[in-house]
Amino acid sequence: MSKKKQRVFTDVRTEVVVGGGQTLATLPDGRKLFLWGALPGEIVDVQETKRKSHYSEGIATTVHTASPERTAPQDPESYISTSPWQIMSPEAEAHYKAALLEEAFELHDIVLPKPITVYSDGNMYGYRNKVEFSFWFDTASERLDLAFFRRGSHGKIPVQGTSLANNLTNQLGAAVVHTLNQLGIGGRALKTLLIRTNRAGEARWQLYVKDESFPVADFFAALPKQWQTGNVQGELIYSNPKSPASVITRRLSATPTPLADSLLGVTYRYATESFFQINLPLYERTLRDIASWLPEDTPVVDLYSGVGTIGLSVAGDRPLTLVEINEAAVQEMQANIVQLGRQQSARAILAASEQALDVIAPEATVIVDPPRAGLHEDVVRQLLASRPKRIIYLSCNPVTQARDIMRLSERYGIRAHQGYNYFPRTPHIEHLVVLDTIL
């Protein structure tokens, strides 16, 4: 079957923002068009990027009639790949995120007890403490650049950095690329560059390469010392080229010391490749809110706990059980428990949450922070059976959160809820719901 030719649609009138963050329009043939780069109420030309029998997807290329909510993107070449809501005002972003939250709960006939608010600290750019760059090699100029993948494709966009990261991240990325260009290293030898920073202004970087014989000594000799000593440290990692992901196959240089950050006065150390929250000020605000809903003198169970930052930050001296399926995360969690001197009150369990159901006790307050797929059905059933008095549910996907709360509604009601803008200029939103037993 021949590939359908992608078309250009002219004078498209956009309608509403839909789940996922795209804007919806209706084509003359009645099919729906989901597009990036446009706001509701605009008239635009659209380059089709995907065509199906009942709908198309595309990107706005020309804006004929602009919405009053439109703003100029900080990263005009790459924003659709990284943060497609750069084109709207912060006020519009807050409005649409609240609307998407409300829509997710309305789909399951759930009426929230108060109007939805989305907390933001006002920092719309420079908030990311972790960025992973790909690479772009221009064969004509034989020049290497940082890059991001084009949304929905394997193509890449060369960039000088990103407005979502701080200056240290962008300067470090530029220094690594400059060094690679000095050595004449092309894109075929490289996978990605991972950069992390903390609130103390320290940075760690990992350059993932596809060649075990990569010139490690030459690279470190050419890289300016300010990017490999003291507050900034990095390493070279061989990553099996048969895997598209940047995973550690073998470390080619010494491992840097871990970064450290504090949350509610609790200090955590974490490796460059480990999971740690991206927007710490917003996450810390969430932790304060969670802590305020913990009853005194009750055990705390933290499911889907990652490296334990929620439970260890908010539980205080309460008995704490943390459950996590990722072995590396549990190892870091256990190290944090020891470092904090919490061995007597906190325990880490390496298991899927649905395989550790016995920890869900009636007397406990249960905190859940599941992946985008939401709670496992067995976890929902055990919560209904054990009936802990309070469940605190933090979600990165309001659609599955609303589904789970609907399932729990036979025994639980919503006591409070709050949205958080962890990822400004993107459609992503975090939502906290406090559930109490009603029967």
End-to-end CA distance of the chain: 58
In a shared domain, residues 380 and 400:
yes
In a domain, 76, yes or no: no
Kindly state the average pLDDT of the residues 40-61: 95
In a domain, 78, yes or no: no
Among 202, 229, 261, the domain boundary falls at 261
In a domain, 88, yes or no: no
In a domain, 316, yes or no: yes
CATH number, domain at 19? 2.40.50.140
In a shared domain, residues 345 and 257:
no
pLDDT at 3: 54
* Residue-number span of the structural domain to which 24 is assigned: 8-70
Local confidence band at 142 (pLDDT 50, 70, 90 cut-offs): confident
In a domain, 270, yes or no: no
Amino acid letter, 354: E
In a shared domain, residues 223 and 283:
no
- pLDDT by residue (tens digit) across 211-269? 999 999 999 999 999 999 889 999 999 999 999 999 999 999 999 999 999 999 999 99
In a shared domain, residues 103 and 66:
no
CA distance 421 to 101: 12
Local confidence band at 152 (pLDDT 50, 70, 90 cut-offs): confident
- pLDDT by residue (tens digit) across 396-408? 999 999 999 999 9
In a shared domain, residues 320 and 236:
no
Question: What is the domain count for the chain?
Answer: 3
In a shared domain, residues 230 and 318:
no
DSSP string computed for 211-279 = -TT--HHHHHHHS-GGGTSTTEEEEEEE--TTSSS---SEE-SPPPPPEEEEETTEEEEE-TTS---S-
pLDDT at 4: 61
Local confidence band at 1 (pLDDT 50, 70, 90 cut-offs): very low
In a shared domain, residues 285 and 376:
yes
In a shared domain, residues 51 and 146:
no
Q: Report yes or no: 430 and 395 within 8 Å, Cβ to Cβ.
A: yes
More confident position, 140 or 325: 325
pLDDT at 141: 85
In a domain, 286, yes or no: yes
In a domain, 372, yes or no: yes
pLDDT at 140: 85
In a shared domain, residues 57 and 145:
no
In a shared domain, residues 28 and 102:
no
Q: Label each residue of 129-140 as H, E or C.
A: CEEEEEEEEECC
CATH number, domain at 144? 2.40.50.1070
In a shared domain, residues 412 and 333:
yes
In a domain, 420, yes or no: yes
pLDDT at 2: 41
In a shared domain, residues 159 and 207:
yes
Among 32, 52, 70, the domain boundary falls at 70
Local confidence band at 368 (pLDDT 50, 70, 90 cut-offs): very high
